[in-house]
């Protein structure tokens, strides 16, 4: 029995520093691994591939990942690599309180440190439910080893009473029907199992599908990753092929930073616009760019995305669901249609350029993936607003808003926080009409804490009953990618740090002007100064523990709500010995 020599091809691999050692160190590193039934030949210098798994029954969108990991493992073995699966903190949207976003940065730290501290040469990132994709990308970017993403895939189309219902989007609509008295509670409960009838993440163009698409257009996955349904055998093949490819990427030293460049980020922004993708992409892309030191600012989203047409006719901005998108040709068909709006020379994980990967792409259903000559909407990118109410910016997704409200002036109805909102929103005595602007404070990164998806405040019940379906809403919160409405989000600076949002009072006039990208509070500077003098910061959410770390270090939304001490790549230099 031998170990690889100190010189040679395998000596440059990180795993060499563990598994090729002689003496006590090598013994220690290999012996306990052999307890898992691994033959000695696994330590012959072959690339060691981590399978970073976010499987969890508490993250139901990722609950099929143990099977997915097995397919990755087969591919790694096929290419002569040594696969080692490991868990990281998984984040499920539907159960985590106060919000999964509170834990995105924590999960990213788990990933980064796991990659660096272990004998890994490359990694396959298994991403699915919303936050798992940015968390894994942020961590992998900071460690910067060869990495490839395999997404879990969208769930199959759900049907309720013969009609397709989309994840999240249908829930918001039906919940309003219940509150308006047009749908019964029992019917609403019956819809639960119809909406979620298979493995996979949200099947609307919510945050999970948006992030999976971003991964694909940025070249971080094999082509087709975004749309293959979770239970479809072709996703297992994609996982297998990704396992095979990562071994080659390690041999080529094709690291994340070679692919995830400013060019890739620009492609991502344009694609999000064409998809009518989630507003959450904004904070996640800003955070990912920050990890790589690639310059990206909030205004880039507007500058690069505003003139991009909405081509994907997918909920919540459109009509169809991810299964329809897949059958229509998936993301490659949409990217081919975008054509010259993208940097087609961008490199991708399979060694080919984005353009080369699109050579055979075809659209099979021009209703689902519209041609540029007949878009769902002419210009669909996320709009970045500024003004005295949002000096550091706020965003709105015009494709999910009511066109007639994109220019609107109304009096503010202010909620101090989410408890106040829940206590009063359905109060028949609430002084509100359809022209009012609903304002929610203290739901930003530090204020909530964790910047939850509360920005699409419910329409007051008495207005719903009167047939009102949309109103202008403004907050420092986020909104679910499956939600819709004329909703201004991510207002920065947030109320809890004394942003102007903190100073808004009932009956103030607020003017939203999306065409001119402005958000103005019609209150004089003197009056605002007087209010500021009376304002005091809310008590921080926690005196100790992780939440304390979070509120002390989280950046504002326009910087991606990452921790200030996590920006930048720290690489994967091999740490000193443990013994």
Residues that bind Mg ion (CB under 5 A): 93, 130, 207, 480
20 vs 90 by CB, closer to ligand FES: 90
144 binds, among ligand FES, Mg ion, none (CB under 5 to 8 A by kind): none
Q: What is the dihedral of CA 236, 242, 247, 253, to 10 degrees?
A: -170
56 vs 167 by CB, closer to ligand FES: 167
The site map against ligand FES for 327-366 (x = CB under 6 A) is ----------------------------------------
Which one of the spans 65-73, 201-209, 253-261, 451-459 is the region binding ligand FES (CB under 6 A)? 201-209
Shortest separation between residue 137's beta carbon and ligand FES, angstroms: 16
Task: Report how far apart the first and last C-alpha atoms of the chain are (Å, whole number).
Answer: 24
Residue 382 is classified by DSSP as P
In 3D space, the residue among 207, 395, 226, 383 whose CA is nearest the CA of residue 308 turns out to be: 383
Q: Answer yes or no whether residue 208 interacts with ligand FES by CB under 6 A.
A: yes
133 vs 442 by CB, closer to ligand FES: 133
108 vs 480 by CB, closer to Mg ion: 480
Q: Are strands 390-396 and 383-387 parallel, antiparallel or unpaired?
A: antiparallel
- Cα separation, 302 vs 298, whole angstroms: 8
483 binds, among Mg ion, ligand FES, none (CB under 5 to 8 A by kind): none
- Per-residue three-class SS string for 111-175: HHHHHHHCCCCEEEEEECCCCHHHHHHHHHHHHCCCEEEEECCECCCEEECCEEECCCHHHHHHH
129 vs 425 by CB, closer to ligand FES: 129
208 binds, among Mg ion, ligand FES, none (CB under 5 to 8 A by kind): ligand FES
CB 421 within 8 A of CB 531: no
Q: How far is CA 438 from CA 17, 150, 178, 410, 460, in A?
A: 58, 40, 21, 9, 10
Q: Residue 398 has which token pair?
A: 């015009």
Q: Answer yes or no whether residue 560 interacts with ligand FES by CB under 6 A.
A: no
Shortest separation between residue 270's beta carbon and ligand FES, angstroms: 23
305 vs 452 by CB, closer to Mg ion: 452
Shortest separation between residue 67's beta carbon and ligand FES, angstroms: 17
Strand order, beta sheet including 122-127: 82-87, 48-53, 122-127, 147-151
Shortest separation between residue 411's beta carbon and ligand FES, angstroms: 35
- Cα separation, 160 vs 191, whole angstroms: 6
- Cα separation, 461 vs 322, whole angstroms: 31
Q: Residue 467 has which token pair?
A: 């047939």
Q: Answer yes or no whether residue 206 interacts with ligand FES by CB under 6 A.
A: yes
Shortest separation between residue 481's beta carbon and ligand FES, angstroms: 8
129 binds, among ligand FES, Mg ion, none (CB under 5 to 8 A by kind): ligand FES
Shortest separation between residue 90's beta carbon and ligand FES, angstroms: 11
Count of residues in contact with ligand FES, rule CB under 6 A: 10
Q: Answer yes or no whether residue 214 interacts with ligand FES by CB under 6 A.
A: no
Phi first, then psi, for residue 470 (nearest 5°) are -150, 150
Shortest separation between residue 214's beta carbon and ligand FES, angstroms: 14
- Cα separation, 453 vs 449, whole angstroms: 12
| Count helices and strands in the chain by DSSP H and E runs | 20, 14
130 vs 562 by CB, closer to Mg ion: 130
User: Using CB under 6 A, which residues numbered 124 to 163 contact ligand FES?
Assistant: 129-130
CB 43 within 8 A of CB 57: no
Shortest separation between residue 454's beta carbon and ligand FES, angstroms: 15
The site map against ligand FES for 366-395 (x = CB under 6 A) is ------------------------------
CB 494 within 8 A of CB 417: no
Shortest separation between residue 302's beta carbon and Mg ion, angstroms: 23
- Cα separation, 135 vs 144, whole angstroms: 14
Shortest separation between residue 277's beta carbon and ligand FES, angstroms: 13
Q: Answer yes or no whether residue 61 interacts with ligand FES by CB under 6 A.
A: yes
In 3D space, the residue among 239, 236, 164, 242 whose CA is nearest the CA of residue 203 turns out to be: 164
Q: Answer yes or no whether residue 202 interacts with ligand FES by CB under 6 A.
A: yes
The site map against ligand FES for 89-108 (x = CB under 6 A) is ----xx--------------
Query: Interface residues with ligand FES (CB under 6 A)?
Result: 61, 93-94, 129-130, 167, 201-202, 206, 208
């Amino acid at each position: 029995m031998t170990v690889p020599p100190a010189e040679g091809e395998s000596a440059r691999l990180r795993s060499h520093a563990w598994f090729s050692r002689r003496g006590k160190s090598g013994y220690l590193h290999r012996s306990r691994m052999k307890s898992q039934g691994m033959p000695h030949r696994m330590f012959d210098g072959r690339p060691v591939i981590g399978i970073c798994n976010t499987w969890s029954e508490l993250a139901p969108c990722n609950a099929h990942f143990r099977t997915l990991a097995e397919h990755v493992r087969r591919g790694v073995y096929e290419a002569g690599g040594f696969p080692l699966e490991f868990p990281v903190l998984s984040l499920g949207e539907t159960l985590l309180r106060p919000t999964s976003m509170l834990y995105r940065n924590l999960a990213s730290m788990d990933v980064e440190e796991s990659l660096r501290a272990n004998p890994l040469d490359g990694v396959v990132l298994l991403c699915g439910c919303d936050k798992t994709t940015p968390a894994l990308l942020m961590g992998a970017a900071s460690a910067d080893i060869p990495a490839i993403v395999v997404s879990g895939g969208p769930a199959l189309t759900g049907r309720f009473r013969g009609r397709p219902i989309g994840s999240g989007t249908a829930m918001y609509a039906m919940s309003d029907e219940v509150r308006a008295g047009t749908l019964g509670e029992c019917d609403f409960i019956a819809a639960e199992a119809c909406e979620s009838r298979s493995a996979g993440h949200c099947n609307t163009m919510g945050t999970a599908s948006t992030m999976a698409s971003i991964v694909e257009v940025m070249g971080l996955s094999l082509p087709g990753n975004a749309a293959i349904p979770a239970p479809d055998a072709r996703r297992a093949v994609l996982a297998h092929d990704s396992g095979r490819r990562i071994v080659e990427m390690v041999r080529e030293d094709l690291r994340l930073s070679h692919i995830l460049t400013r060019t890739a980020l620009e492609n991502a922004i344009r694609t999000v616009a064409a998809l009518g993708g989630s507003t959450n992409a904004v904070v996640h892309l800003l955070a990912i760019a920050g990890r790589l030191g690639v310059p990206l600012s909030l205004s880039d989203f507007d500058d690069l995305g505003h003139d991009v047409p909405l081509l994907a006719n997918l909920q919540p901005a459109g009509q169809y669901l991810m299964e329809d998108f897949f059958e229509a040709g998936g993301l490659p068909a949409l990217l081919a249609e975008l054509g010259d709006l993208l940097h087609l020379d961008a490199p991708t994980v399979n060694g080919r350029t984005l353009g080369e990967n699109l050579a055979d792409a075809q659209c099979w259903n021009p209703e689902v993936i519209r041609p540029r000559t007949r878009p769902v909407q002419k210009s669909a990118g996320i709009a970045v607003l500024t003004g005295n109410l949002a000096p550091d910016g706020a965003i709105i997704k015009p494709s999910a808003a009511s066109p007639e409200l994109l220019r609107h002036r109304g009096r503010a109805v202010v909620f101090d926080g989410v408890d106040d909102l829940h206590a009063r929103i359905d109060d028949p005595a609430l002084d509100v009409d359809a022209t009012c602007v609903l304002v929610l404070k203290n739901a930003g990164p530090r204020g909530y804490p964790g910047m939850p998806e509360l920005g699409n405040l419910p329409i007051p019940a008495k207005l719903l009953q009167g047939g009102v379906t949309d109103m202008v809403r403004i907050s420092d919160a986020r909104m679910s990618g499956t939600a819709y409405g004329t909703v201004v989000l991510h207002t920065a600076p947030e109320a809890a740090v004394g942003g102007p949002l903190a100073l808004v009072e009932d009956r103030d006039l607020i003017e939203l002007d999306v065409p001119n990208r402005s958000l103005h509070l019609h209150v004089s500077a003197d009056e605002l100064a007087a209010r500021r003098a009376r304002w005091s910061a809310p008590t921080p959410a926690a005196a100790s523990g992780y939440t304390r770390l979070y509120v002390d270090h989280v950046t504002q939304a326009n910087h991606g709500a990452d921790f200030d001490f996590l920006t930048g790549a720290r690489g994967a230099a091999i740490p000193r010995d443990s013994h």
